[in-house]
Structure 1
Amino acid sequence: MFNLIKSATSQLSTLDTCQLCGVDAQAMHSICQDCWNNLPWYKQNIQRQEIDISVACYYAYPIDRIIQKFKYEQQLHYQTLLAAVLKEVRIPKVQAIVPMPISNERLVERGFNQALVLAQILTKDLNIPVWQPISRSNQYSQKGLNRLERLENIDTQFEINELSKIKYRRVLILDDVVTTGSSIHALKLKLEELGCQKIYATCLAYADN
């Protein structure tokens, strides 16, 4: 059923057809109704590191490929679809959205922070700001590390920026894919240092370790 469009050029020539199957007419969020219904929906909460994380989908085809193309191949036309997927989960009443930070090295490599792009779409709908009080350095791959190694690796990566007069008590952490939840946990600890009292988290997809 799903047949991801391989290039931006082919998509430009089929503006009215589904971005996934490339056959049926777009019905919502740039894809057809059938493709939308058959995304690997999860729409539940999982608990990682004692944090409840609302998850839109399983990290399975085709959402996994869409995220990869968006994140690593700069196919930014998928941002509308991915933001719509996030809107399918319950978003709590918060004062600001905190996109998962990426290191400067990752930013140069990719050209953008995928979580920030999606957060900017959501904040327009929710009429709340994007808040980025935490920066990230020394970002290394977590692949192949066990739970303890991931926690030790992550804990040293997040740093509080210069303290701002603007602070929020209720915030939402936004990430793309969650596995162990170690990144969300480390970010949550830093936000607590800034005085945040209610910290929620949501992500596009849940992947097994």
Structure 2
Amino acid sequence: MNNWLDIIQQLLFPPTCVLCGSAGQTGRDLCLPCREQLPVNACCCPRCANPLAAADADRLCGRCVARPPAFDQVYAPFLYQEGMRHLITGLKFGSRHAHARLLGQLLAEHVGRHALMPDCIMPVPLHRARYRKRGFNQAIEIARLIASETGTPLDLYSCRRRRATPHQAGLTSKQRQRNIKSAFELIVPVHYRHVAILDDVMTTGSTVQEMALLLKGQGVERVDVWVCARA
């Protein structure tokens, strides 16, 4: 039944590339030339996915060696550049929800190939004030698609942001750490062994670090981070 609905939908509303307007391919709103131009995070730290020079492939970056993060591994298939930046900012600040579907498909493809599936996906929560202003949480919109495609449970309620922190953009790494400190809380006990925190983009990692510390403190054994792009 779902296959027939998908076929009918594609006949009535054929996929169109959200980057150039050409016909989409493989059922996605993305054409092959634009897909090939997306900035791939091909060489990165295996722990935090920070981009590295090719000579340093598969080595931990200096930051992870000096101060290992609370999370275990970051999966970030793209760099926050060019077309990927357009997709993420269009969703977050332009309410282009078709971008969420495409970003979710691309990230689901990556984690499906490379990641061990967790007990649940936990999107980074927005504070209720920002949620009311924006009208949606971009991390949740992406996570819904991934949960559907991978069959992984989605947890939207265990963790909440208890402080309305200022935007992280434009802050230094230390300012980001202070800004996000103790911003999250678990409102119900969690009994997961393995959680994947999901967000749209990771810059310094301060936000996911704070969530990972919280989860590890409640007995979660492994915390991965799934993001569409690494800045």
TM range (shorter): 0.7 to 0.9
1:66/1:168 CA distance change after superposition, 3 Å: same
Given the alignment, which residue of 197, 201, 207 partners 2:225? 201
Query: Deviations along 1:120-159, whole A, 9 cap, x unmatched?
Result: 1111122221113111122212233322222122112112
Equivalent residue number for residue 5 of structure 1 = none
> Residues 103 and 135 of structure 1 are in contact (CA less than 8 Å); yes or no, is this contact kept in structure 2?
yes
CA distance in 2, matches of 1:78, 1:148: 31
Aligned to 2:193: 169
CA displacement, residues 167-196 of structure 1 (integer Å, 9 cap, x when unaligned): 211110111111100000000011122221
Aligned position for 2:140: 116
Aligned positions of 1:9-158 closer than 5 A: 15-23=14-22, 25-28=23-26, 29-43=28-42, 45=46, 46=49, 50=69, 51=71, 52-89=73-110, 90-132=114-156, 133-136=158-161, 137-158=163-184
In 2 relative to 1, CA 189–17 (structure 1 residues): closer, same or farther, beyond 3 Å? closer
2:105 touches 2:145 (CA, 8 Å); kept in 1?
Answer: no
Q: Distance in 2 between matches of 1:169 and 1:153?
A: 28
Question: What is the rounded CA distance, in whole Å, between the counterparts of 2:87 and 2:15 in structure 1?
Answer: 19
TM-score by length of 2: 0.76
Q: 1:16 to 1:118 in 2, by over 3 A?
A: closer
1:188 to 186, 189, 212: 212
Counterpart CA distance in 1 for 2:13 and 2:102 is: 16
Q: What percent of counterpart residues are identical? A: 29
- Structure richer in helix, relative to its length: 2
User: How far, CA to CA, are the matches of 2:129 and 2:15 in structure 1?
Assistant: 37
Deviation of 1:14 after TM superposition, in Å, equals 8.2
Q: CA deviation at 1:117?
A: 1.1
Where 1:62 maps in the other structure, the secondary structure is helix
Contact 1:134 1:190 in 2 (8 A): no
Please say if residues 108 and 150 of structure 2, whose CA atoms lie closer than 8 Å, have aligned partners that are also in contact: no
Amino acid at match of 2:39: P
User: Gaps (5+ residues) in structure 1?
Assistant: 1-12
Cα 1:149/1:18, change in 2 over 3 Å? closer
Contact 1:40/1:61 (CA < 8 Å) preserved in 2?
yes
Code of the residue aligned with 2:215 in structure 1: it is L
Query: In the comparison of the two structures, how many residue pairs are matched?
Result: 192
For structure 2, the residue ranges without an aligned partner over 5 or more in a row are 1-11, 51-63
How well do the aligned residues superpose, as a CA RMSD in angstroms?
2.1
